Structure 1
Amino acid sequence: MNENNRQYILELVKKMEGLYAKQQTLSNEINEMRALLLQLQQSENATPISSTEKEKPSVEKIVIDEFPKTVETPIVENISSAKPMEEIQMEPAVVTTNVEIPKFAPGPKPKMTKSGLEKFIGENLISKIGIVIMLIGIAIGVKYSIDHDLISPVGRIVLGYVASIALLFVGFRLKEKYNSFSAVLVSGAMAATYFVTYAAYSYYDLFPRILTFVLMLAFTGFTVFAALQYNKQVIAHFGLVGAYSIPFLLNDNSGNIAGFLTYISIINIGMLFIAFYRKWQGIFYMAFGVTWFIVLAASIFQNKDHLFGTYFGFSTFFFLLFYTMFIVSTIQKGTLTFGTVTVLLSNTFVYYGIGYALISDNPSYSNYVGLFTVLNGLIHFVAALFIYKRQLAEKKTLYLLLGLVMVFITIAIPVQLDGNWVTLIWIAEATLLYWIGSKKQVLYFERLSYVLMLLAFFCLLQDWSECYYPIYTVDNRLASMRPIWNVYFLTSIMGIVAFYLIYKWQKTVLTNPEEKITQDKKLMSFVVPAILLLLLYLGPFMEMKYGFDLQMDKLLITRNIENYQVGILDAKMAIVMAVYSILYVLTISLLNNWKIKSTMLSSICGVLAIIVLLVYLTGGLMSHSVLLDNYMQNHIGAEVFLIRYFSIACVIAMLYFVFYKRKEKLLNKNMEVVFHIGINLVAIVLLSSELVQWLTLSHSKSEYKLGLSILWGCYALAMIAYGIGKQRQHLRILGMVLFGITLLKLFFYDVAYMSTIAKTALFVILGVLLLVVSFLYNKYNGKISDDK
């Protein structure tokens, strides 16, 4: 490469560096213009578009691609190694500018930045704080002038009105340029006029009551007019506060409740019209809260007896007024909000509470509480029907109103009726609501049915606790309901049928793959079967127990009663209740094995079987002993044996179907050991009881000594032999433990009271049994060692 080429390359490099520097400058200028355009667009978004501006042709939006913030300049480190001019391929710097001028249409409201917060505080908040502080200052100055008698009463009132008018004049003058600030000044001026007028009436007696009322009402009207002109809700709030304050400020203790509530009604109608016209929800909420507070306070602290019609009529008017506003507000918004739902529920239950208190406390109308409750539900039904027919709101609103209908119908039942009628209607209502909710997929109804199910169940328990006991009249004649044929057992049957239907519908829903299973549905899938099982058990149980209690009471009111008769009846009742429990568990287990096939229900049946078995082996066998003793004394016939063996057969059937037939699915290896031990313990107890019975019938004096020791020894030998044959170590160990107990009984109990011949026979028999056990262990030693 010659010297000329090298010099030319250096010149080109310098020229290219200059072009890159110009490109950087141009990029910075374009980015500054872009930032300015964005700022102008944000300011246009905050300003409403006039009708003339909407008619102007839209311009295109400018979209400018940003230039790189830094420019990397190529540097030729070694001129000698540079390529020839023709080999250098230089990419030109390209500036792409897509030009679209923005359409200044209203966009989303920008988030409040630090400057926006500063603007809010400076232009809005400080003005409100300032007007409050100014009013406080004026009040302090007025108080000082009063304390030192600097200004006459008339002068004070005149100065107050002058200050208010001046403040109002300044506010109106600043309206066009400073709208928000002007609104605050006007609000403060109107508040000052209220207080000055009240001072002229109350403290100085300058104005009569009628004139003061007219002035304050005029100030209220002017305040509302100013709020509409300014389109500022805060001014309307000042007017509303003043309007509600007038009756309290001008109260003369005349007790004219009707006139007072009439005035509140007129104010509410006007304010709610403004709230509807301007869509000012704050005015609606304030009128709602203040009105019900006034009504509640008046109804609590005033005598309601002679003002029943006044309080009830105006409460109903306020309820319907706010209820109508709820419907209108919901239709306007097209959906439910937290505020509208809160107003609806508060309005509904506050009115119901006031009406319930008024009606129930009035002797002339106390029987119409249920009718009042139903009428409340009817109002919600009419509103729901109106919305449904005209399709004015979404389904959530319709379901909410229908839910309130169901709530008031449900409340009306216990309010008006007594006894089991409440339970019957709640059972029917819960079933109907669940059917509608599950079939029509109305989740609100379904969840409401869950509440009614629990209410119906607990109400049924209360009916049982109150009604299943004999009732005596004054002359000791038994006056009670008939067993089985009574309305309470009918209620139990209806409850069983209802919960069975709910269970079947619930099972259909849960097995549907397209159904969305929520947490409450999963929970109720356990609660409903549990309630059904309890009703199936407790319904017949309460009837049978009531039948025995009735017989017992008949015996107790008989003068010539023997003690054994009471003992026989108690024993029969205990055995029958135990056998019924056994048959119940057996029946549920059979149904589960053949039809339901639920592992959880099998486990529940197992737990119930253990509980029932323990009850029978303790109380049942003792009751059998009582019957046997009475049989020995000829107080009872041979039915004692039928009762005994039927109950034992039920126990064996329960053990077989509940445990043995399901042991493969219910029991693991550890639980199987417990099962075998339990079965053998039950067998030992039953065989011992049976041996004692027959030895008692044979009038043997040593039934608890010789016979039981031989029985236990033989059973221990049988368990050890079976354990060796089936390679079950736990049975062999249980047999040895039983042998040990038998030997302890032999040495510490039997020997002391047995004859020589009996002792000889017992020792010989037990010795032979132990030798047989030892022989079996020696003979099958290999089999035992292989036992795992």
Structure 2
Amino acid sequence: MLEVNNLKGILARHKEMVSDLEKEISSIEATDLLGENQKLEAEISQLKEFFNREKADNQRLSEENKNLRNAVYEQLYNEKIQILNSTNKKLEVYFKSNIEGELNRLTYFEMTEKKRIDEMAGILQANRVNLQDEIYPRIYELRKLLEERVRAAREEILRNSKALNESRAAGFQKLQQERLTEEEIKGRIKQNNIESFIGLNIINKLGIFLLIIGIIAASQFTYFRLPDILKSIFTFVIGLVMLMAGEFFNRKKTNIFSIGLTSGGIAILYVGLALSYFNFNLLSMFPALGLTVLVTAGAFVLSQRYGSQTISCFAIIGGYLPILSIEGDKNIVYGAMVYFVLLNLLALVISVNKRWLVTAYMGFWLNVIGSIYILAIMFGGHTGNAGFSADDLISIAYIVLAFIIYTLIPVAGAYRYKLSFRTSDIVLLAKNTVISSILLYTVFYITGLEDFTGALAVTFAVVYIAMGRFSESFMEKERKARALFYITGLTFVALIIPFQFDKTWFSLGWLIEGTALLTYGIIRNVKGFKRAGTVITFLCLAAFILFDIPNYHSLLFVYKYLAVTAGSLVILSALIYKNEISAGSAKVYKYITLINIWFFSLYLLGVELKDYLYKPLMGSDFSLDYLINSAMILAGFIIAYLIPKINIIKDKVTEVISSVLYLIGVASLFILSFFSPVAGSLSNASRGTCILGTVEIAVISLLSLLAVREFIMKLVAKRKIGIELYPLIISLYFIVILTQNLIMQFNLGFNNALISVVYLVTALSWIIFGFIKKYVLIRRFGLGFCIMAVAKLFVIDLSFLTQGYRIVSYFIFGLTLLAISFVYQYFSRKINFVGEVMPDEKKNDT
């Protein structure tokens, strides 16, 4: 039984294996590996044949190029030798004539001077001067000296001439032995190319142009001699003959001359169509349009067949000729739209196969002219109340199609052949964007779609950002084009706000865009988003300054300012999060943000809080302006205190900002102390009002005292001033504001003895504090202040006091001075103690 089961198991496994084999065989039969293998072998064979053929062609062309290059080199070298020999002969003749001239002038000089010497001797003899006189030997010596000098000059000329000839001969020999450089060959070829360009291209096209003018003139000249139909036939025959001649020469070998004949034939056919329709009225509109389409299509085919940009240019120009026949009938305009779209598509097909710059630009500008002409017809009598219609939609669709086609034209060829964008391609993209957007926005405003101009900006933005992503993914090297796409897209992103919203919302819209882009760019470290966000943020700031700040009383201004401040804090937080706060531009942004927070707090307190408290405090004894200004000063002190406490944003500049805010607050409080917190003065107010006003002044003064303390502590920490000046400045500031408040708020005169008492008590406090803290300077300053207070009492105060107050003043001053004396007695053993605290300058000296 066990063996049977084993056999059954083996049989089952065998069946499974057979089933698997059958499935595998079926799969192999289904895939037809043999057929695919044969197909691949055939393709490999074809590729090998193609490779061998291309290799042979390459070798042949390489050999031809080598032979041509050698021939060009020999020709240019022979030309160079001929030029050198000719130049050498000319120079030889020139130098020889100059040297002979010099020798002749020297000989003439010699003969002239000898003659003068002989004449001098003759004059002496004629005057009976004795021949034995010593003057005759002198004259003879002069003659010999002249001969020697002339002979030396002649020898020098001949010697220099020989050296010059030898040097010139050596130089020419060196030039003859020099090989032609690559730059010389290229320069000569360029000269030949210019000559060929003028002789072939320009002369060829000029001949065609004159031929066209001749045909037009002939049609006018034979006006009375031939019927119109024969004139038209004559023109078409000439065009066809030139086409056939061009085809004949092109079949032999395509060259500039044959291309010129073909281009001229196409141009003359267009002339024949124009004459037949406009001048002779032999063709109606639709037959003329149909023939134009046929000629244009044929011209495009020929341009692709022969790779001729000239033919394509004639096809483009002739293809747009029917625009002259378009009139006010909208059905004809619709047909023209379809025709021009097809023409643009043909231009796109050309750009896919050939990157022809002239054709692309010519087609673009003719398309712009055609679009403007069509829109002028479509919207010539359009009024703003007409409403949106199907005609408007068709016009918009036509402009959009033209925009898309001429956006693809520069991209298609570059993408297909994996070539780089040229500067001309980028310029064409930019011009297409500007002109198409102007046309579209014009149509939107004409048709009453101004509420959707923001959506149009969104569409443009999406298109260009998508193009940027496409170039980034498939054309990685195209940085300029990618930058153009992204910049254009982000420009339209920024334009969404002004196009879609009123200027009231410019700042908020740009704030949202700028904050989002800049924050994302900072967090993700995307430079493009950073730049775009920065630009849009500046636009937000400009809109806020230009449109919002002048209307700061608007109900929305507080929310806009709050949003701007919050947005700046969000961006600052992103910079802190990514630890980019130490960069130069980030630092500047940090400082501006901190200053803006201060301004925002001043605005909230000075405008919003004031408006809120205006009605509740109307008619009360308290001064609203004093309260608001006090709150603003308090806010400045708080911000100045908090800025250096946040370590992550703390640096030297933030400390300077904090110090400046402290100084502004102290100066503002000093000015504020000249005004009363209540209507009138505290001395004339009711008891409750006086108490509350005094408390208000005390709180503000105490806070300012703390602010001064914080500011002085900074200076002490930086060792700008000594530690013992710290309590002196604080107490001195306290005396100043106390004196100011007593005089301004309580109507006390400076001659009041109470002020002297305060000064005396302050002096006592300084002396005690100086002894306890071992501050020599503050102790001595207190002693001097005490003397000043006593002097004020006797010189100023006593003359204004009654007898009773004088007695009280005497007692108070006497007791205070005794107290000061007691303090000195008590601490006298410490005056000369070595461990006393001295000013920092003295410590440094010791």
Q: Shorter-chain TM-score: which interval?
A: 0.5 to 0.7
Deviations 1:359-381 (Å, cap 9, x if unpaired)? 34444x44333344334444456
**Is 2:644 the partner of 1:568?**
no
Distance 1:204 1:502 in 2: 75
**Is 2:742 the partner of 1:694?**
yes
Distance 2:275 2:765 in 1: 108
Deviations 1:113-149 (Å, cap 9, x if unpaired)? 3322222222223333324544565577678778877
Distance 2:584 2:445 in 1: 39
Matches within 5 A, 1:85-124: 113-124=186-197
Distance 1:358 1:215 in 2: 32
Distance 1:112 1:196 in 2: 47
Matches within 5 A, 1:455-474: 455-458=539-542, 465=549, 469=553
**Is 2:657 the partner of 1:604?**
yes
Equivalent residues of 1:688, 1:711 under 8 A apart: no
Deviations 1:148-207 (Å, cap 9, x if unpaired)? 778746476566556545655554455445702332343234334433442343234344
Give the drift of 1:231: 1.0
Equivalent residues of 2:522, 2:575 under 8 A apart: no
Deviations 1:269-324 (Å, cap 9, x if unpaired)? 11211221234354334433432443245446733565421221112222333344
Equivalent residues of 2:575, 2:581 under 8 A apart: no
**Is 2:603 the partner of 1:542?**
yes
Distance 1:398 1:145 in 2: 54
Equivalent residues of 1:359, 1:366 under 8 A apart: yes
Distance 2:280 2:724 in 1: 100
Pairwise CA RMSD of aligned residues?
5.5
Structure 1: stretches of 5+ with no match in the other structure: 1-48, 63-108, 472-480, 512-521, 769-778
Residue aligning to 1:66 = none
Equivalent residues of 2:637, 2:662 under 8 A apart: yes
Matches within 5 A, 1:301-320: 302-303=379-380, 307-320=391-404
Residue aligning to 1:227 = 303
Q: Structure 1 residues 376 and 138, CA, compared in 2 at 3 Å: closer, same or farther?
A: closer
**Pairing partner for 1:246 from 285, 302, 322:** 322
Q: Structure 1 residues 111 and 200, CA, compared in 2 at 3 Å: closer, same or farther?
A: farther
- Secondary structure of the residue that 2:681 maps to in structure 1? helix
Distance 1:196 1:553 in 2: 87
Higher helix share: 2
Give the drift of 1:466: 7.0
**Pairing partner for 1:643 from 691, 696, 717:** 696
Equivalent residues of 1:470, 1:553 under 8 A apart: no
Distance 1:57 1:421 in 2: 68
Q: Structure 1 residues 568 and 282, CA, compared in 2 at 3 Å: closer, same or farther?
A: same
**Pairing partner for 1:500 from 558, 567, 572:** 572
**Is 2:264 the partner of 1:188?**
yes
Residue aligning to 2:340 = 264
Residue aligning to 2:587 = 526
Q: Structure 1 residues 395 and 56, CA, compared in 2 at 3 Å: closer, same or farther?
A: closer
Deviations 1:2-22 (Å, cap 9, x if unpaired)? xxxxxxxxxxxxxxxxxxxxx
Distance 1:143 1:395 in 2: 48
Give the drift of 1:699: 5.5
Q: Structure 1 residues 406 and 161, CA, compared in 2 at 3 Å: closer, same or farther?
A: closer
The alignment's TM-score, normalised by the length of structure 1, stands at 0.64
Distance 1:584 1:190 in 2: 80
- Secondary structure of the residue that 1:703 maps to in structure 2? coil
Name the aligned partner's letter for residue 750 of structure 2. Answer: E
Structure 2: stretches of 5+ with no match in the other structure: 1-52, 68-181, 384-388, 818-830, 833-837
Name the aligned partner's letter for residue 284 of structure 1. Answer: A
Give the drift of 1:469: 2.9
Equivalent residues of 2:249, 2:258 under 8 A apart: yes
Matches within 5 A, 1:74-153: 113-134=186-207, 137=210, 152=225
**Is 2:663 the partner of 1:613?**
no
Name the aligned partner's letter for residue 586 of structure 1. Answer: Y
- Secondary structure of the residue that 2:666 maps to in structure 1? helix
Name the aligned partner's letter for residue 574 of structure 2. Answer: I
**Is 2:675 the partner of 1:623?**
yes
- Secondary structure of the residue that 1:469 maps to in structure 2? coil
- Secondary structure of the residue that 2:674 maps to in structure 1? helix
Distance 1:330 1:435 in 2: 35
Distance 1:132 1:125 in 2: 10
Give the drift of 1:240: 0.6
Residue aligning to 1:654 = 707
Distance 1:329 1:505 in 2: 45
Equivalent residues of 1:628, 1:640 under 8 A apart: no
Equivalent residues of 1:688, 1:708 under 8 A apart: no
Equivalent residues of 2:461, 2:488 under 8 A apart: yes
- Secondary structure of the residue that 1:638 maps to in structure 2? helix
Give the drift of 1:568: 0.8
Which protein is bigger by CA-based radius of gyration? Answer: 2
Distance 1:430 1:691 in 2: 52
Residue aligning to 1:358 = 443
Give the drift of 1:426: 4.5
Distance 1:581 1:451 in 2: 31
The alignment's TM-score, normalised by the length of structure 2, stands at 0.60
Distance 2:310 2:482 in 1: 34
Q: Structure 1 residues 279 and 445, CA, compared in 2 at 3 Å: closer, same or farther?
A: same
Alignment coverage as a number of residue pairs: 625
Equivalent residues of 1:470, 1:549 under 8 A apart: no
Deviates more, 1:176-185 or 1:413-422: 413-422
Give the drift of 1:580: 1.3
**Pairing partner for 1:237 from 313, 323, 337:** 313
**Pairing partner for 2:535 from 428, 448, 451:** 451
Residue aligning to 1:28 = none
Deviations 1:203-261 (Å, cap 9, x if unpaired)? 3434444443344333323332332232111221121112123312x244445432222
Distance 2:463 2:581 in 1: 36
Matches within 5 A, 1:277-356: 277-296=353-372, 298-299=374-375, 302-303=379-380, 307-325=391-409, 328-332=412-416, 333=418, 337-348=422-433, 350-356=435-441
Q: Structure 1 residues 380 and 437, CA, compared in 2 at 3 Å: closer, same or farther?
A: same
Give the drift of 1:265: 0.3
Q: Structure 1 residues 264 and 632, CA, compared in 2 at 3 Å: closer, same or farther?
A: same
Distance 1:126 1:145 in 2: 27
Deviates more, 1:681-690 or 1:533-542: 681-690
Name the aligned partner's letter for residue 574 of structure 1. Answer: N
Equivalent residues of 2:670, 2:737 under 8 A apart: no
Residue aligning to 1:201 = 277
Deviates more, 1:435-444 or 1:237-246: 435-444
Name the aligned partner's letter for residue 611 of structure 2. Answer: L
Give the drift of 1:498: 1.0
Distance 1:727 1:344 in 2: 80
Distance 1:167 1:708 in 2: 117
Residue aligning to 2:174 = none
Deviations 1:485-523 (Å, cap 9, x if unpaired)? x855763564254123223145x2467xxxxxxxxxx45
Name the aligned partner's letter for residue 444 of structure 2. Answer: I
Q: Structure 1 residues 409 and 136, CA, compared in 2 at 3 Å: closer, same or farther?
A: closer
Equivalent residues of 1:426, 1:455 under 8 A apart: yes
Name the aligned partner's letter for residue 370 of structure 2. Answer: I
Distance 2:201 2:207 in 1: 10
- Secondary structure of the residue that 1:622 maps to in structure 2? coil
- Secondary structure of the residue that 2:689 maps to in structure 1? coil
* Identical aligned residues as a percent: 15
